[in-house]
Structure 1
Amino acid sequence: MRSAHRAPRRLTRRHLLGLGGIAAAGVAGLAVQQLRSGQAPAEANTSPGRAAASGAPSPSAAAGPQVVAKGGGTVPYRPGRTILGSYLALEGKAFTESIALRRRQTGRDQRIVHVFYDWTDTLPARIAGLPAGATPLVSWRGSAYSDITSGGSDARIARAARQLKRQGRPLLLRWGWEMNGDWYPWGAARNDKDPGAYVECWRRIHDIFAEEKAKNVSWVWSPNWNSAPVAGWNSFEALYPGDRYVDWVGVSGYNLHRETPDALFGPIYRAFSARKPLMITEVGSMDRGGRTKADWITLFAQWVEAHPAVGGVVWFDTDTHPGYAEKWRIDTDADSLAAYVAMAKSVRFSG
């Protein structure tokens, strides 16, 4: 995969994943309960988890387990199925070699192939080496809000729409992700703490794509699992562009500080699962020795199984990410690979 698909070298993994938050005692208790009941063990969440930091509305206890039954735009959500793919970049291997390795290991192809582009890049009219049947997830970095709201970027946006339209296949577009963090220039924290301007940018881009008739694009709005800083203007609710402008609600979350899956993904699931299908657009786990990584993958798979609105999972499957030593790839050890393969071969992930 060429360098344009990777994150900028000036950013460390800390910037991509965000910071830890405040420990959630209930989540730690859940992990202990799972260990005692014989379910797959997970590390206790003894470190920050800003599970309540999003500011998004929480459903009442009487709301029940209602979840979305359709949606996804041109990449449709299928109830009871989860599309599985990855951002795949392995040291010493070309993209096609990495794809072939994962096919041999898991017995299946990627259903989503995640690629990254800078704001000034020409977006792809074709992605070389894409497996048959795979859907591209194009993450397009943002810019200062004023560059977009002023109309000064309209020509760039229209050109991007025409390029993606030329692919002639359904694809996912994730513009300006993790906008609720303070580590990217397109975050609200770096744009006068103005969530309304982010929403205006999103809608402007969406409308220009519509004018260019790029009807093959499915829109993925994708915050980080926790907000930095924690503030009302930086919450899920304040930054959401609106149901008409979003096909999938995405989220980035990593087991970086011993978080359980529910600490990472529970809040956004509860906020949006009755309205939109969810896609976990970036996920991975630290390896702390023994079976810690394998057990977390198993626990994650169980969490997805229990949350039917999750219609997509995109692993951060790489050991080449600049500025961070952690090997996020799925095959750092035999147990971790086996846990991932078991997840990939399950009925839930056969979408």
Structure 2
Amino acid sequence: MFNSIFSQTASLLKFVIYDFDGLDIGATNLPDGDFQIGDLSYEITANPLPASDVLGDRVLKANLNWINGTGEFGKGMDKFFQLSVLQDRINFYFYSPLSNAANVQVRVIITEDDDNDNFYQSSADDSWIDTVQLSSSAGWQLVSLPLSDFKDRNTGGNGIFDVGFGANEGKLFVVRIAFDQTSTTVTSETYYLDMISFSQGNLPSGNTILDLPPGDGVNCELGAFTGTSPDSAPAVIENKFTNGKKIKYVNWFMQYSATGTVPVNFPGAEVQNLLNNGYRPVLTWEMMYAQYSRLDPLQPRLDKILNGTFDAYIDSFADKIKSYNDTIILRIFHEFDGFWYSWSITENNQDTTTFINAYRYVVDRFNMRGATKVLWMWCVNSDSEPYLAYNWIVNAYPGDNYVDIVATDIYNHPNLPVPDWKSFRYLLSESYYTLTKYFPNKPFYLCELACRERYVSEDVSSQTKADWICQMSGDLKTYFSKIDAIIFFDTPKEHDWRVNSSVAALNAVNNCIWTDNYFGETTGVNENFASASLNVFPNPFESELTITFKKANSIQVVNILGTEVYREKINESATNKTLDLSALSNGIY
């Protein structure tokens, strides 16, 4: 039996398969691979019960007109994804009105692509099934099934539940929820589904299954990219509001060259101006020639880093960074797990080793030049494209000595012309789980964050940008409370991403972010990532742990396996902290 602290931290939302928020009422063609089989048809509908922070105002309505006695809703996944049969669960919220038959049999089917040929063949791939009896009720039920309870229902495949990125593991191919007729006197029934997900351990929840779970964060800092000169960016954001709060981070983009194939771009006085005014610069430094398309053959690939082509430029850039009087954040090779940049893993022989070596090469050259007032940000895309084994972000991590901050970028949604609407929870859950699971000791930022407005062709009753922002605020404080900073992408590009793209959007940012004390600084900007001076006693510690430090922003305890068992953010002014860890079992932490 796990102790209470471990159980709380071990229960994590891992991946949202569908949550339906923001989809149009009546929609039958959903994003990302939905399908139906047999007697079932489905559509998006308003939540038939009062909306909650967990379920929102849109759910899936499953109509069963019984002819053959069974009907299914499914989603084609066709992706590599790390699942643990010993720890993980599949979850969904289920509502069967009392007007239905008293009971329904539900089968959940998870299909693997063991041989990775992008097809399911019963002779070559496993199909896993679990069956549960559910009753009609007056409210929502949370169905949570341990993967360890699933049984192999065919003789093909390797007979092992092994969805993952390992050399001998397979893809997660399809997830299906099947309903079986239990009463021949009932010819039609209607069920409702929402928040279909995988979790590590129990799906986190609050006092009830419809309450958001408690978070473990103290605050989340704010920042922005505005498309203006970097040192004017703070005023662009802060002047939209009235309460005196300040952003902390200013992001901007700099390519190696704007007009040619010789790198000549360097940061200037804007960096020192930001530092002098208490802001932390975040410079996204792109190995790119701006006048050419991103994947033009003239764009450099990572071999140009490793063969020394850019040594002189990197050294001069490092010298420039060294000239500033305080620390800046450098983000290099961001969104490397996408396919749209020349530094991506896909564009570099699908080789994570090349990526790691190039990243380390840049950091090492800075260190050799004495340019050490740098925090290095390693930033992934919100989801890997393509979802193939070679593109797993964990295998592209340069190492703790080379990464100070982990990050991801979240957009709803950059495709054109009118992309599918996707909730913040749907977009972030997978990368959040991976980054906090595998790199729990690193600060975690959303380095680009934006939502589009609705277009006139869309259902006016569907979730708005303002709704999306406020729902995001709640999720950041609960499911995603280890996010340390969010940096708005505040400029028109594919869509109008600005926080004030509409009066409603600006009001939402003001009411749900800016005036919420969980977010941002009310006076000045004064954070420090300096390593803490750590003293632990008694040693080995038993029930109490006292830590003294010069500067720190969080305390984390992990067990011998590297699993986080305790985390707490601490006040900036604190110099020591005593923790009561008596609930932890004896062991090495």
Correspondence for 2:410:
253
1:47-88 per-position Cα deviation (integer Å, ceiling 9, x unaligned): xx99995756779456799xxxxxxxxxxxx95221201111
**Is it true that 1:117 corresponds to 2:228 in the alignment?**
no
Q: Secondary structure of the equivalent of 1:89?
A: coil
The answer on whether the counterparts of 2:404 and 2:442 sit within 8 Å (CA) in structure 1 is yes
Shift in Å, 1:168: 1.5
Correspondence for 1:104:
239
Closer/same/farther in 2, CA of residues 341 and 35 from structure 1, 3 Å limit: farther
Q: 2:302 aligns with which of 142, 145, 159?
A: 145
By percentage of residues, which structure has more strand?
A: 2
The answer on whether the counterparts of 1:43 and 1:258 sit within 8 Å (CA) in structure 2 is no
Shift in Å, 1:98: 5.7
The answer on whether the counterparts of 1:284 and 1:315 sit within 8 Å (CA) in structure 2 is yes
Distance 2:47 2:399 in 1: 37
Q: 2:501 aligns with which of 327, 332, 342?
A: 332
The answer on whether the counterparts of 1:285 and 1:293 sit within 8 Å (CA) in structure 2 is yes
TM-score (norm 1): 0.77
Q: Secondary structure of the equivalent of 2:270?
A: coil
Closer/same/farther in 2, CA of residues 136 and 148 from structure 1, 3 Å limit: same
1:245-288 per-position Cα deviation (integer Å, ceiling 9, x unaligned): 11111101211132222222211221222232210011111211
Which of 1 and 2 has higher RCO (CA within 8 Å, sep 6+)? 1
Closer/same/farther in 2, CA of residues 154 and 147 from structure 1, 3 Å limit: same
Closer/same/farther in 2, CA of residues 133 and 345 from structure 1, 3 Å limit: farther
Closer/same/farther in 2, CA of residues 35 and 154 from structure 1, 3 Å limit: farther
The one-letter amino acid of 2:248's match is R
Closer/same/farther in 2, CA of residues 176 and 54 from structure 1, 3 Å limit: farther
The answer on whether the counterparts of 2:233 and 2:250 sit within 8 Å (CA) in structure 1 is no
The answer on whether the counterparts of 2:332 and 2:378 sit within 8 Å (CA) in structure 1 is yes
**Is it true that 1:218 corresponds to 2:375 in the alignment?**
yes
Closer/same/farther in 2, CA of residues 146 and 263 from structure 1, 3 Å limit: same
Correspondence for 1:347:
517
Closer/same/farther in 2, CA of residues 153 and 270 from structure 1, 3 Å limit: same
TM-score (norm 2): 0.47
The answer on whether the counterparts of 1:220 and 1:250 sit within 8 Å (CA) in structure 2 is yes
Closer/same/farther in 2, CA of residues 54 and 89 from structure 1, 3 Å limit: farther
Distance 1:135 1:328 in 2: 22
Closer/same/farther in 2, CA of residues 53 and 170 from structure 1, 3 Å limit: farther
Closer/same/farther in 2, CA of residues 101 and 200 from structure 1, 3 Å limit: closer
Tell me whether 250-259 or 289-298 shows the greater mean CA deviation. Answer: 289-298
The one-letter amino acid of 1:337's match is L
Closer/same/farther in 2, CA of residues 153 and 338 from structure 1, 3 Å limit: same
Distance 2:422 2:408 in 1: 15
Q: How does 1:303-342 map to 2 (within 5 A)?
A: 303-306=475-478, 307-319=480-492, 321=493, 324=494, 326-342=495-511
Structure 2 unaligned regions, length at least 5: 1-14, 24-45, 61-74, 89-199, 204-215, 257-262, 288-299, 414-419, 522-589
Distance 1:162 1:34 in 2: 62
The one-letter amino acid of 1:305's match is K
**Is it true that 1:127 corresponds to 2:264 in the alignment?**
no
**Is it true that 1:240 corresponds to 2:397 in the alignment?**
yes
Q: 2:468 aligns with which of 275, 296, 304?
A: 296
Correspondence for 1:71:
none
Distance 1:162 1:251 in 2: 28
Q: 1:88 aligns with which of 218, 226, 233?
A: 226
Distance 1:152 1:286 in 2: 40
**Is it true that 1:203 corresponds to 2:360 in the alignment?**
yes
Distance 1:64 1:121 in 2: 53
The answer on whether the counterparts of 1:57 and 1:237 sit within 8 Å (CA) in structure 2 is no
Shift in Å, 1:237: 1.4
* Matched length: 308
RMSD after superposition: 3.4
1:313-348 per-position Cα deviation (integer Å, ceiling 9, x unaligned): 1111002x3xx3x11111111110011122022122
1:149-204 per-position Cα deviation (integer Å, ceiling 9, x unaligned): 11222222121111112222121110010111111111111111111101100011
Q: How does 1:26-37 map to 2 (within 5 A)?
A: 26-28=18-20, 36-37=50-51
Distance 2:381 2:318 in 1: 25
Shift in Å, 1:28: 2.9
Closer/same/farther in 2, CA of residues 234 and 50 from structure 1, 3 Å limit: farther
Closer/same/farther in 2, CA of residues 249 and 144 from structure 1, 3 Å limit: same
Distance 1:44 1:110 in 2: 36
Closer/same/farther in 2, CA of residues 171 and 190 from structure 1, 3 Å limit: same
Distance 2:315 2:481 in 1: 36
The answer on whether the counterparts of 1:219 and 1:247 sit within 8 Å (CA) in structure 2 is yes
Distance 1:161 1:266 in 2: 35
Taking only the aligned residue pairs, the percentage that are identical comes to 22
Distance 1:36 1:347 in 2: 28
Q: Secondary structure of the equivalent of 2:19?
A: helix
Correspondence for 1:231:
388
Closer/same/farther in 2, CA of residues 64 and 232 from structure 1, 3 Å limit: same
Closer/same/farther in 2, CA of residues 34 and 327 from structure 1, 3 Å limit: farther
Distance 1:245 1:33 in 2: 47
